[in-house]
Every structure is written in structure tokens, then in C-alpha cells.
Structure 1
């Protein structure tokens, strides 16, 4: 038997109640009714999202402050009187309206018992009211920009791929010798006429060169700052990251994009006309970078001159194909970005740099 003292909340929609339950108990006493099953308002369960939450639970600072919303059935399996809810057993007494992924992910974690969760209880909801509550919650939330999220990693004292990428991005934007000097929209804010890449977009393509699982790396390093992460030869910047050599990542990026800038001066300085210094061009270069990096390691050089030869070959290939780095030839989407990346790789291989 569980007894909960609940806080009463009155809002235009009606009265509901707030309490606290352990995640393990929530899993036992609730249903989830999904649209795909022809019943309730919930979307289909996303296994990747559940897995992500399960893994996040191992973070020593894991927190879930947002309440799980439960619509209680009209049932004799519980009693509610004088703002006290008494649950008689482990039988189902309600359904989750919002928070199914959190509830499921935490219930599958090894430390489920460590999580007491805030819960909102609603009584006597019709199916229409359940659907309304679900739709309002999930349509009125404002998504936080990735630029802000990455920027907040700078506050963290522990090392992580996100923090490294943020610090490199910030330095590239403030270093006068950087090809990206004052060209990145930090926190999404445009600083000048040439600002053509957001901080979030910049890191989005940089971080996969360090890690397949940046959140996992961050958790492991927070738990044990001296932990030696496994290397991955397919991630060209991972070795430098796990060996605390972030300055090498920075210098390689400066050499890489200074070579791009030198080879395509007009395209680099005209983001309103060309896509090279925008997400499509930048993303294509970093998509191609693992292959460029492998070649550089064979040549035992990652200096400016090496990268310059690579992009001169790329420019020659573009000329041969009679293509320009404009949205007419490379529209802004992942498929075109990948196509452009492949042209870079093929040009370097074709001309045997």
C-alpha cells in the first residue's frame, strides 16, 4: 500500500494534483494507450529514445524534473480523499498521458530505484480531454537552439566532446588567424555580414569526428575524469581528444579551412552567392575529412600545403564537371551535401595527391 499527500492545483482546464512516485512504481501501475493501437493519444514508443534515457540514467548528475502526467481511471484499486491518494497494490490505476519515454527508459535502467519522479494526477478525463492535454503539452514547447545547448557545456568542469567542440568553435570565431574569424553565429546571433554558420551547425558536423556516442563519453568522464576512452580509427579527431590534445584539433581545422579559403577566395568571401562557407559546403568538407585525414597520415603531413593540394584537385574537378559552388548545383539538403563530399573525395583520389 502506498499513501501520497498531493498538492492541489487549480487552472482554467480544471483541478489536478501533484505528488511524487518512484519510477519503478509508475511503471507497475500505469498503462500507455497509443494512437497506433487505435486507442489513446500517445505516439508510438521510440526504442532509440528509450535507450538514450536509459543510458543517461547512469550519469551521476542525472535529473528528470519534468512531471509524468497520469490520468487516473475510475477504479476501486485506489482511494482519493482529502488530497490523500492511497494505492492498494501494484495493479494498473491509470494511463500515462505525457512522459512515456522517460518512464520506460528509467524503468529499464540498472538504478531505477534512485529516481523519484514528480507526477501530475488528473481525474475523470474523457478521451477528448486526454488528447487535448497531450497535444497542448507537445505543441506549445519551444525547442532550445543547439547553439545554446553547446554553449552551456562551457560551464561544465568535466571534459566532454561537446565542451571541446564548443571551445574550439569559440576560438575559431575570435582568433584573427582563423578562417572563421567573426563568421560563426555564436548562440545563433549574427555578428557580421559574413556570419553564415551557426555555432550549433558547426558543432553538429565536428562532433562526429570525435565520437559516435558523445553523451556516453561525457558521462564516463564525469564519473571518472582519468578514464581512458577507447580510440576509433574512423574518428580522425578522437585520438587527440582522448589524449587531451585539443590544440591539435584546432590547428588541423585552421590548416584545413585556410586551404579551402585560399583555393576558393571569392566563394569563401561571398556567402550570399555561394554555399562553400554555409552549412552545405562546410558539412561536405567535414564529411570528406576522414578520407583526407587518412591520406594525410600516409603522407605524414596535415599542414596547409597538403590541404591546399587537396582542394586544388577539388577545384579542378568542379571545373571539369562545369559546376559551381552555388545552390543551383548543390541545393541545401543532406543528399546534395553528401554528393559534394563525394566529389571532394573522388577528386583527391583521381588526381593522386
Structure 2
């Protein structure tokens, strides 16, 4: 441990927070609300230490838990969004001698001076060990607003084995929410967003009996009862489409939440983001129509492969879908008019020029994974008409 972590404050420093005590099998835990500034002050060295050395909990478990810069950078941005929220508690542990709980006032006081002592014996910035929430705390350092209160669970006097158990439970055993479910939840939002629009397009094409994607999009990350072939996940569809609407979907969503408008784009930018102006103009169904026509042409050009449910066929599965979606930019450029919409007759002529037969869309020619997707995309981008 470096000397700076051992530097003791010259004066007594204490913080008092509103707090509730909850009794659990592991012992009493304390549920507090703490402002982001105070939380940063009492956890500063512990969060910073992750960048410099292993901590006791990690040593005990024999693992490493680095602070991931990309995740912190994303949270720096997120905390300043209009609807930023950390609803789940950050979990910290503090030695018992530095804590006092007032049962009557329901407050907890944290001090750099041990109970029954008069002089500080620990830096206030090194008083709390973070068991869960290190990235959120690091992200809050860039919060530009006035006040951000955070729910915090405090373990008082927990020994290293208890801390390791808590750490393992919240960090190693939690189940992630499937991306498809996450995008589905955007449909409940009142405001517009690229995420919500792409979700709506996916649902519309999945439910339209005339659509090439009719009952082929897997919603919520799980198979739909009564369907036997759902080769495209909702997350895959949404993310592939969203790249043509926004370079920064979260930023766009935040702008719209604040009641602001997005500027339209033109010329070269429209080749990269062909559906952006349609989105800005609330023409979601026009976007759906373009995708409908584009993949209807794929289905018409290779009807056998599109209908083939065998695992060896890649046209109607993730690799084929993603490659053709990425190829739309190329088709758009070939057409030469940066409107976002390529007419059906031009798309049909383009598909006819692709030198592939139904039987060619197999895993021998296009390997599973990103390599096969890239190989198909390269072939599609070589087409000139």
C-alpha cells in the first residue's frame, strides 16, 4: 500500500446520514442515502486502489477486479443524462470502531476517529471498502448536476471472509438481463428514441404476415411458444438497424427526453445514416417499409435458402441477416441518391447481380461467426450495377 493511502487527516471529520437498520442472518446492515459528493469522499482511495493494486477482498478470493475504463467513461456520460438513475444500492463495508448508529434518530455517523479516541487514525477517504458499485462511484465523479443521492448498503464490522462472500454473491452470481428484453422495454417509454423506433420496426415486421420476417424474430431472448424457427434475435435486429439511425443512440434519447430536437443531416452523412432523417421526421413505418422491401428482394432472389430451416443454411440466420443489413449502405451508394430510400426495382436489380445461388449460403462457404459474416459482406460489396 502506498504512503498516500496511510496519510491521516489532521482534523476530525465525520459524516452523518439518514439510515435504517435491517437485521439479516449475516448480522445488521444499514441502509442509507448518501450524496454523490460524500460517497466519493469516503470511498476515494478504495476505488482508486483498484487501478494500482489488488485489494484484500480480491486477494482473499484469488481474483482480479480491475476498474474498466470504457465502463467508467460510459457512466461519466450516463450520470449526466436527463433520466440518469442508480436505483440499486452501492455496497460498502466499514470497520465497526469508526461507526455510530443512533437508533432514535435513525442516523449513522461515520468518522475518521475511532470510538473513544480524540485523534483521527484513518483517512476519511479510505474509510470504506466498496464491495459493489465501484464503477458507479467512479462515474459519479463527472456528474455535472447539483445533487445525486445514492442508496448505499453499509456493512459494519464485517470480517474479510464475510466481505468476500458478499462480493462473490453480488458480483459473480448475478444474472444479466438479456439484450432483447432490454430493447423490448423501450417500447414502454413515452418519448421517442432510436431504441424504441427499432423495437417497433422489429415488432411490426415480425407480426406482418406478408413480411419476410413474419414470426422469425425471437423476442425477449427466449423462444416464442408455438414457433419452431426464430433465427434472428430482437437484439440482433435492433442493433443492426439502429446503426443506420444514430451514431450515439443514448445521446439522441437524452436529447429528445429533454424536449429538444435533432438536426437533420444531408449528403454524405445520409449514406452512413440513411434512416436518420426518417427517424427525426417520425417516419418509423417508412423505415419499416424500406427494410420490408429490401429483405423481400432477398427472399425473392433466393427463395429456397430463405425458406430453409437447416442449421447449415446461413442466409436467413444471424450471419446472413447482418451481412445484408451492412450491405444496405453499399446499395444506397450505388443508387446514388442520398435519400435513405432505395427503390424496390433498384434493389431487385442489385440482388440479381449477386453471383450466389441458394445452395451457396452454407457454412462451408461462410464460416460461423464474424468471419463468415465478413466474407459474405465482402462479396456483396463487390457487386456493381
Question: Fold-level match, TM-score > 0.5?
Answer: yes
- Is residue 158–residue 225 contact of structure 1 (8 Å, CA) maintained in 2? no
| SS of corresponding position for 1:280 | helix
Residue 116 of structure 2 corresponds to none
Bigger drift between 55-64 and 294-303 goes to 294-303
The match for 2:50 among 34, 52, 59 is: 34
In structure 2, relative to structure 1, the CA distance for the partners of 1:304 and 1:158 (3 Å cut) is same
The match for 1:16 among 21, 29, 33 is: 29
> CA separation in 2, counterparts of 1:8 and 1:74?
14
Residue 254 of structure 1 corresponds to 292
Residue 157 of structure 1 corresponds to 190
- Taking the TM superposition and a 5 Å limit, the aligned residue runs for 1:82-101 are 82=103, 84-88=107-111, 90-101=124-135
Larger radius of gyration: 2
| SS of corresponding position for 1:114 | coil
Residue 278 of structure 1 corresponds to 317
The match for 1:54 among 76, 79, 86 is: 76
> CA separation in 1, counterparts of 2:247 and 2:373?
20
- Taking the TM superposition and a 5 Å limit, the aligned residue runs for 1:107-186 are 107-111=141-145, 113-186=146-219
- Is residue 50–residue 66 contact of structure 2 (8 Å, CA) maintained in 1? yes
Shift of 1:312: 2.3
Gapped runs of 5+ residues in structure 2? 1-13, 59-63, 113-123
Residue 342 of structure 1 corresponds to 378
Shift of 1:81: 5.6
Shift of 1:74: 5.4
> CA separation in 1, counterparts of 2:334 and 2:54?
55
In structure 2, relative to structure 1, the CA distance for the partners of 1:75 and 1:336 (3 Å cut) is farther
Residues 271-328 of structure 1 deviation map (CA, whole Å, 9 limit, x = unaligned):
32411111111011112221111112349871222112222222x1x46xx9821223
TM-score after normalising by structure 2: 0.81
- Is residue 34–residue 43 contact of structure 1 (8 Å, CA) maintained in 2? yes
Count of aligned positions: 343
| SS of corresponding position for 2:210 | coil
Residue 346 of structure 2 corresponds to 306
| SS of corresponding position for 2:243 | helix
Residue 245 of structure 2 corresponds to 210
TM-score after normalising by structure 1: 0.88
Residues 248-284 of structure 1 deviation map (CA, whole Å, 9 limit, x = unaligned):
2112111110111011111100132411111111011
- Is residue 207–residue 214 contact of structure 2 (8 Å, CA) maintained in 1? yes
Gapped runs of 5+ residues in structure 1? none
Q: CA RMSD in A?
A: 2.5
Residue 243 of structure 1 corresponds to 281
In structure 2, relative to structure 1, the CA distance for the partners of 1:229 and 1:304 (3 Å cut) is closer
> CA separation in 2, counterparts of 1:275 and 1:198?
14
* Residues 1:189 and 2:223 are matched in the alignment: yes
